[in-house]
Amino acid sequence: MTIQLLNDRYQVIRTLGAGGFGETYLAEDTYMPSRRRCVVKQLRPIQNNPQIYQLVQERFQREAAILEDLGGTTDQIPGLYAYFLADGQFYLVQEWVEGDTLTAKFKQQGLLTEAAVQEILINLLPVLEYVHSQRIVHRDIKPDNIILRHRDGKPVLIDFGAVRESMGTVVNSQGDVTSSIVIGTPGYMPSEQAAGRPVYSSDLYSLGLTAIYLLTGKQPQQLEIDPQTGEMIWREYGSHISPALAIVLERAIAYHPRDRYSTARAMLDDLQALSNPIPPTQPYFTPPPVTPASPTLPVAPQATISGNNQKGIRSKLIGVGLIVASSIVQLFLVMPILFPVDENKVTEPVESKTTVTPTPVTTPPVVQIPIENIDPGSSVKSASVDVNTTDNYLWLSQRTVTDADLEGKNGYTLDIMRNTVFARHGRRFDNQDLQDYFNNQPWYNPQYSPQEFPVKLLSTLEQRNVDSIAAYQTRNNLRYFK
């Protein structure tokens, strides 16, 4: 069999792949003394129409120049060696990257470790950041198009869709130039890309799903979609993934672009922040014993509080004491009005024969009152209690938690917030203090032991909120319960 020689220079060794846009070959460059190996891509227009052939040729040359610039800037994009036209076909000659695609890597060893996947992402996101800075969207990120190079283990991004899009150029029935083919792989491309309107975060979506495949073994087509939100339901396969990494991936694959990372740099920053997580301890800070403010108004016992919030809680305790004292004073002031004394009947003081020991007034335990449980006309609200503070965090099942919701809260409060999501579904807790807390909540109905609790009960929103709070606590070293 005669081995094909392309452009009288590139000797084909074997076919690497074939598709609707042409074929890809492994070849040797006979013009080079080393006979270096290279990849030759034969690209053919979707329609061999003389009207648009010149236009396709111009676009091909322009986009080939872009690929040359990209490969010349980073060694994690294959360099472009040449391009040429032969017999009406378009050819690209690119650097041959010796290594294994992520698909091949997965087939060899199975699930990748979290550390390995995180390293791949951290090494690949700067490449995407540069590509996007050149106003280019890759459009076909998937395990097949990322190669782990043998010589250094770095991920290399291959098979850009820019030139392939030019090959799809046709003239529609109105005579307008258009692209009839959507570039991308079903499952790995988001909805806006499938509609022909890719944005930079479309690449981050594809990269996030690639990471999930490596960690869980599940292709996007194997995952269910939440019919209400359009979000991928994948966490049941990723219970072994740390909450901090899971929340990064959740944000990357959000259905709507506005909910994703807007830039590769933003996603990279969050991943790098996970490199040195701070292990939680219990407790972080134990305050000295609090001296009672008054013999008749002892201060209620406090939970262990981080230093920044101790003054605020003391102020609330003093405020509650003042409210109680004020109520007692007002009661004595109005008693003569409510119960007037008939001076004609009082002729002499009556001596009491029974000694009554006054009962000390004690401040009730400090509680934070759920907003929905406060009567609009009650004295609680008029007594200037901060009704925006609540221990009824059931809203975490209804809307996304933000950093603004978490700022200023100590480890104790954040632990309560996070565990409220589980308690809402009837989970019990190994920590007795935590269990006692929820036992005092009127809505709590414990049903499952910690070991038997089905994680599937949590909605995608609830799981995301749990992960968000956990990540915030890790970043800020705020934990109270073990």
Residue 381 known to bind ligand: no
Question: pLDDT tens digit string along 3-14?
Answer: 678 999 999 999
60 or 49, higher pLDDT: 60
- Residue 456, exposed/middle/buried by CB under 10 A (0-12, 13-18, 19+)? exposed
Kind and range of the H or E element at 19? strand 10-19
Question: pLDDT tens digit string along 259-301?
Answer: 999 999 999 999 998 865 544 433 333 334 444 444 443 444 4
What are the contacts of 370-376 at 24+ separation with CB within 8 A?
Answer: none
Q: Are 80 and 67 in contact (CB under 8 A)?
A: yes
CA distance 83 to 94: 9
Q: Cis link prior to 283 (omega < 30° from 0)?
A: yes
Answer left, alpha or beta for residue 85, where phi above 0 means left and psi between -120 and 50 means alpha.
beta
- The pLDDT, as a whole number, for residue 82 is 92
Residues annotated as catalytic (active site), given as ranges: 140
Q: Which residues pair with 95 in a beta bridge?
A: 38
In sequence order, the 6+-apart residues with CB closer than 8 A to the CB of 52 are 45, 169, 170, 171, 177
**Which domains are seen in the chain, by residue range?**
5-272 (1.10.510.10), 280-313+365-482 (no CATH)
In sequence order, the 6+-apart residues with CB closer than 8 A to the CB of 192 are 198, 199, 202, 257
Label the pairing between strands 169-171 and 5-6. unpaired
List the single range of 20-29, 165-174, 208-217, 262-271 with lowest mean pLDDT.
165-174
- The pLDDT, as a whole number, for residue 21 is 64
- The pLDDT, as a whole number, for residue 455 is 77
Answer left, alpha or beta for residue 52, where phi above 0 means left and psi between -120 and 50 means alpha.
alpha
